[in-house]
Amino acid sequence: KNEVEQSPQNLTAQEGEFITINCSYSVGISALHWLQQHPGGGIVSLFMLSSGKKKHGRLIATINIQEKHSSLHITASHPRDSAVYICAVQGDGGSEKLVFGKGTKLTVNP
């Protein structure tokens, strides 16, 4: 059974701090997604990656396939980054089914 574990569950930071959210999974995957869920409930896809590293603005996502681990980094965090960040993985068995982590709630204080 594929388990997706995120840490920490909750994270509070001061504006400007560097943030790291971790995701570990237990089976082979074909892709990993990082999603952002706003306080209002909407979900936005941030990254989809299967190897290496991707960067978009202040956000960086990395994945280590051998270690079955991914990290999402936020540089120069801002209160508007406050949201729940969700990791989801797609197995390598041919289905596009995603297994989701429980999310990391980030609060950035001014």
Partner 1 sequence: GAGVSQSPRYKVTKRGQDVALRCDPISGHVSLYWYRQALGQGPEFLTYFNYEAQQDKSGLPNDRFSAERPEGSISTLTIQRTEQRDSAMYRCASSFGQGNSPLHFGNGTRLTVT
d(CA 13, CA 24): 22
The distance of closest approach from Cβ of residue 15 to partner 1 in the complex, given in angstroms and rounded to an integer, is 26
Q: What is the 3-state secondary structure (H, E, C) of 85-103?
A: EEEEEEECCCCCCEEECCC
The distance of closest approach from Cβ of residue 80 to partner 1 in the complex, given in angstroms and rounded to an integer, is 19
Which residues within the stretch 1-40 sit at the binding site for partner 1 (CB under 8 A)? 30-31, 33, 35
Pick from 98, 110, 105, 14: which is nearest to 48 by CA? Answer: 98
Options 19, 21, 90, 106; binder of partner 1; rule CB under 8 A: 90
Assess contact for 70 and 23: CB atoms under 8 A: yes
Options 11, 23, 74, 88; binder of partner 1; rule CB under 8 A: 88
Binding interface with partner 1 (CB under 8 A): 30-31, 33, 35, 41-45, 48, 50, 86, 88, 90, 95-103
